């Protein structure tokens, strides 16, 4: 009896795995056509100066509106796009769209674009960035690239050289999701980062936990010691923001300051006062 139950469980597991693999293949297939079919969209989330409250710029986040499935989360489709290689084409679209958008703003706010390991290590990545900046006319100092530390592990010396070449173009590089990787500290020494983004899992529990407070404080101290500004991700409550103000954190991002939204929602910031005056006059 035990044996037949075991076999049953195994068969169920196998059938279930088959379904998951099929599901993945379907998504993989749809991803290849998603850009061309106009299913991809960019949303923009404000990054603000913690002390003054002033807006510094936006992180650019990708949204996929699947014709049958509706919104598919980036945490689901980005890994599939990375494994299948579709991220190269998708990532290039993200870069071009975001730079073209930012180049037309009346204000010099910056944009932070997420870039995958596969993109960093692809041939001609530096050339691509150079080309996109040239073609869109966006000033390199307005572009920041966000990289998770796991992105760099594959080939550290090559990654190091690519990051240096990128910085030579004049853009900035932020370490995303700091504290969640294998060796955050040694990565800070190995690579020429310009900014640390503390992962939102640390910010989320800062209100309740003294331990988390101590961790966030020490990351802020680390940033000061290394001369790197620190941005706190996922700030949702005024309590969290007050803690960051009192600990001299430089920058923050989160639902409290603004959700990721289509850029039109933030046009008063991107188009500046001139544009506001104009709309007021028309209204």
Residues in touch with ligand C2E (CB under 6 A): 45, 61-62, 73-75, 78, 91, 94, 114-116, 146, 176-177, 200, 233-236, 253-255, 260
Q: x/- string (CB under 5 A) for Mg ion, residues 199-238?
A: ----------------------------------x-----
Which listed residue (46, 176, 223, 251) binds Mg ion by CB under 5 A? 176
Residue 177 binds Mg ion (CB under 5 A): yes
DSSP state of 261: B
Which residues does 108 contact at the CB level (< 8 Å), separation at least 6?
139, 142
As measured in angstroms, the least distance from the Cβ of 276 to ligand C2E is 26
**Which value, to the nearest 10 degrees, does the dihedral of the CA atoms of residues 140, 142, 148, 149 take?**
60
CA separation, residue 176 to residues 107, 233, 273 (Å): 25, 9, 32
The closest alpha carbon to 198, from 221, 230, 226, 229, belongs to 230
As measured in angstroms, the least distance from the Cβ of 92 to Mg ion is 18
Whether 275 and 268 have beta carbons less than 8 Å apart is answered as: yes
As measured in angstroms, the least distance from the Cβ of 255 to ligand C2E is 4
Q: x/- string (CB under 5 A) for Mg ion, residues 84-123?
A: ------------------------------x---------
* From Mg ion, ligand C2E, none, interface partner of 74 (C-beta below 5 to 8 A by class): ligand C2E
Question: What tokens appear for 260 in the block?
Answer: 């990721």
* From Mg ion, ligand C2E, none, interface partner of 61 (C-beta below 5 to 8 A by class): ligand C2E
As measured in angstroms, the least distance from the Cβ of 190 to Mg ion is 20
Report the Cα 124 to chain-centroid distance in Å. Answer: 21
As measured in angstroms, the least distance from the Cβ of 175 to Mg ion is 9
Distance CA 196, CA 115 (A): 15
Q: Which residues pair with 251 in a beta bridge?
A: 49, 231
């Amino acid at each position: 009896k035990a044996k037949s139950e075991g076999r049953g469980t195994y068969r169920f597991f196998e059938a279930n795995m088959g379904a998951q693999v099929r599901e993945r293949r379907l998504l993989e297939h749809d991803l290849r056509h998603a850009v061309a079919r106009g299913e991809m969209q960019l949303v923009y989330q404000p990054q603000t100066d913690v002390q003054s409250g002033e807006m510094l710029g936006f992180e650019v986040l990708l949204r996929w509106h699947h014709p049958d499935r509706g919104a598919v989360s980036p945490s689901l489709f980005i890994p599939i796009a990375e494994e299948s290689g579709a991220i190269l084409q998708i990532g290039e679209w993200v870069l071009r769209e975001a730079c073209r958008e930012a180049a037309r703003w009346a204000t010099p706010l910056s944009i932070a674009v997420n870039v995958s390991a596969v993109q960093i290590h692809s041939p001609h990545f530096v050339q691509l960035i150079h080309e996109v900046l040239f073609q869109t006319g966006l000033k390199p100092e307005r572009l920041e690239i966000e990289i998770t530390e796991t992105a760099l592990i594959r080939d550290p010396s090559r990654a190091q050289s690519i990051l240096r070449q990128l910085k030579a173009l004049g853009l900035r590089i932020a370490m995303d999701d700091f504290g969640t990787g294998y060796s955050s500290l040694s990565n800070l020494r190995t690579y020429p980062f310009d900014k640390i983004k503390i992962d939102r899992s640390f910010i989320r529990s800062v209100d309740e936990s003294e331990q988390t407070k101590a961790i966030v404080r020490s990351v802020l101290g680390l940033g000061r010691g290394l001369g790197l500004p620190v941005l706190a991700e996922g700030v949702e409550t005024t309590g969290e923001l007050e803690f960051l103000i009192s600990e001299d954190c430089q920058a923050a991002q989160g639902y409290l300051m603004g959700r990721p939204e289509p850029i039109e929602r933030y046009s008063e910031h991107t188009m500046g006062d001139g544009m506001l005056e104009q709309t007021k006059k028309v209204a």
